[in-house]
Structure 1
Amino acid sequence: MKKKIAKLLLVSLLGIFTLPSFAQNKFHVAIDYHYLFGLSEKGSYNISRKDSKMYGNSLHLTALYNFTSQITGGLGLGADRYESPGYNTFPIYASLQYSFLRHLPNIYTYSNIGYAFINKNDTYSGLTWDLGCGYKKMIRSHFGYNLNIGYNLKQFEKVVDNDNNTRHSLSFGFGVIF
């Protein structure tokens, strides 16, 4: 069942890339890198920043649609690596961006919520959630960049070891919009 959902979401994302050119002004694709500055991890064991220099790296691909001039939403795929202790996750998530200042449309708040379904070997499943604010600048109609800062919450569920933890991190990101 989980594989069917993942395949369906992947096919949906790929379908967005093949849309006719007349619809291109509302659709965008973003590729983002995030550095995750680990604050704490709680669960089967508790660690803080003092105990371990927790960090992570995240690469996300998101297909976005501009519903209005202020609201943008879409679906994404990610590859996240957390260190000290080490975890790999591959989340599928929904993304929502809201430009709350009409006179400054480049500034926005965002939230991503999703789940990593793969739970094999060194890969953990679990809920993922991001919340923050960002700045995007479109240089051309289909090329721009974005910068953002936020909060990242990640749950790690490992069935084999019964090792379920939740990590809290600050996220610093930048990316390219097509």
Structure 2
Amino acid sequence: MDTLPGQIEQLLHIIEVSIILAGFAAMVATFQSRKMESISRGHVVSLAMIVYISLCSALLSAFSLTLLNFHVEAKHVWSISSSLMGIATMGFIAYLWKKRHFKFVSPIMKFTYYGLFGIASSIVIISTLNAAGIVFEREFGPYFLAYICNLFFVGFAFARLLMRPLWKSVEKKEASRPHIERARRRR
């Protein structure tokens, strides 16, 4: 969508989706924490990732809309917003890199996390290029791409947050099954 009204509509949808994801994550975390004896670091980092990225995305989108409402030229809005998005994404990378603990993570998840760090780093580069008017012409597309990637990361973290307790329950049940089978054989 090259038209400004279409871009504004997309920013409004980003705000809505971001707030909905943060709210659902908070509800899931609240109900899961009541049933869990211990909450893992991964659980908390996933929740933090969802909340921080979602709410920051909503805030940046609202900031862009605010600038547009003050009749700032669209190119300047996308430039300013792209630079702020690059800074925010770099902050998310630093936060998650600091909080990561790969000691207890499977090799597949390590590979996945490094891939996500790579994608996030490319978003920082694209945002910086868009803000500076290099390669991109201070346009909406690269800025919107950063939102899509952020929502992808939030969706990934949300799926892990939602599925982790279920998988732990299944693993616990499967681990106890050999004992049940041995008990049946003894009868």
| TM-score of the alignment, normalized to the shorter chain, above 0.5 | no
Structure whose alpha-carbon radius of gyration is higher: 2
More helix by share: 2
TM-score, normalisation: structure 2:
0.27
Q: Which has the higher contact order (CA 8 A, sep 6+)?
A: 2
TM-score, normalised relative to structure 1: 0.28
Structure with bigger strand share is 1
